[in-house]
Amino acid sequence: MSNREARAALEWLIEMGADEALEETSRDRFRAPEARAEQASVPAASSQAQNSMTPAPPTARDGHRAQGMSAPGMSDAQPPVWHPGEQGPLQPAEAVLQNARDAAAAANDLESLHEAIRTFEGCELKRSASNTVIYRGSKSAKVMLIGEAPGRDEDIQGQPFVGAAGRMLDTMLESAGIAIEEVYITNILFWRPPGNRTPDTREIGLCLPFVERQIELIRPELLLMIGNVSVKTLLGTTQGITRLRGKWFAYQHEGLSAPIPAIASLHPAYLLRQPAQKRHAWRDMLAFRAVLRGETKPEIG
Ligand code: URA
């Protein structure tokens, strides 16, 4: 492979979300399945064997990462095959969704809910993620901030909004005089979509029962919905964030005894790309603070 081809292959991998080295050496995922099966039955005899180019037995997670990892110049390779052995038989979508609903409903406190999220195996995103990312801030907060999904930094550190977008969010909160101890920050998704792609409706649907249960258990006085995915999911609307931002809504679902005032605002990642929009987000933050501090009442349209 020429340098140019190797570089193109690397860039492609990064774009697909394979942007993190998990092991010292790479695994040859292009060997024929029989060869890999043989390999899997031979235990690694020594650390030297481990460090060679010999592939270790594939795990479900490994397999998922490997899916589709062909690269320019590798046309004679065997297509990688994912064996879902460790996950058990794949369940129909409705059954998995019911599992998510049951697991969320069975959690009677926040700790059990966090554990239920961590042990939930129904969302495919978990297989390519490094960490389950649940929350940051205070469990007894009066307000919840709900973003979209973990990005690369969040996936590595296991906490929401800790990358560049998170730093911008923290700066905005701090400038508005809102302490991190006053908020509970979470996302609609608990696992990073590969390559930060937009999550699909199935992935969102599987996480939603857990998001709703978090809202029920925290019972925040206010919600701040950050970005398109958050506002569309929580309000069940197809309207975009630019139309909805700065407006107050009555957020409700059946597990809540009363609706919660919720305001939508622009995502800090968008603000990093479009700095001219910061003034809108700042206006939203001030409106949010004024209601939080009891200076105004939310005008729910
Ligand atoms: N963007 C989000 O929506 N959430 C995060 O946690 C990080 C970036």
Report the distance separating Cα 254 and Cα 208, nearest Å: 13
- Distance, in Å, from the CA atom of 155 to the CA atom of 142, rounded to the nearest integer, reads 26
Q: Which atom of ligand 1 is nearest to the CA of 267?
A: 3
CA distances from 52 to 28, 32, 139, 155, 227 (A): 11, 18, 46, 28, 46
- Domain ranges across the chain: 92-292
- Tell whether ligand 1 has an atom less than 6 A from the beta carbon of residue 193: no
Q: Is the CB–ligand 1 distance for residue 17 below 6 Å?
A: no
Average pLDDT on 248-260 reads 96
Distance (Å, rounded) from C-alpha 247 to C-alpha 139? 26
Cα dihedral 268, 113, 144, 156 in deg (nearest 10): -20
* Ligand 1 binding pocket includes 229 (Cβ within 6 Å): no
Q: What is the pLDDT of residue 37?
A: 58
Question: Is 192 buried (19+), middle (13-18) or exposed (0-12) by CB count in 10 A?
Answer: buried
Q: Is the CB of 230 under 6 A from ligand 1?
A: no
**Average pLDDT across the chain, whole number:** 84
CB 199 within 8 A of CB 193: yes
pLDDT tens, residue by residue, 257-276 = 999 999 999 999 999 999 99
Mean pLDDT to the nearest integer, 47-70: 34
DSSP for 229-242 reads HHHHHHHT----HH
The Cβ of residue 86 has, within 10 Å, a number of other Cβ atoms equal to 13
What value does the mean pLDDT take over residues 83-100?
68
Over residues 38-52, mean pLDDT: 43
**CATH hierarchy code of domain 92-292:** 3.40.470.10
Residue 201 has pLDDT above 50, yes or no: yes
Site of tokens 């968008």:
270
Query: How many CB atoms are closer than 10 A to CB 55?
Result: 18
- The DSSP secondary-structure symbol of 300 reads B
- Comparison of pLDDT for 277 and 74, the residue scoring more: 277
Q: Is-contact 30 77, C-beta < 8 A?
A: yes
* Interstrand relation of 143-147 and 183-187 (parallel, antiparallel or unpaired): parallel
Task: Tell me what the mean pLDDT of segment 168-197 comes to.
Answer: 97
Confidence band, pLDDT 50/70/90 cuts, at residue 22: low
Identify which of 125, 148, 230 to mutate to test ligand 1's pocket (most ligand atoms within 8 A of the CB). 148
Q: What integer pLDDT is reported at residue 12 of this predicted model?
A: 83
The response to whether residue 251 sits with its C-beta less than 6 Å from ligand 1 reads: no
Residue 89 has pLDDT above 70, yes or no: no
- Gap between the Cα atoms of 38 and 10, Å rounded: 29
Strands 222-226 and 260-265, sheet pairing? parallel
Give the pLDDT band (50/70/90) at residue 8: confident
Residue 38 DSSP SS3 = helix
Q: Is the dihedral of CA 98, 99, 100, 102 positive or negative?
A: positive
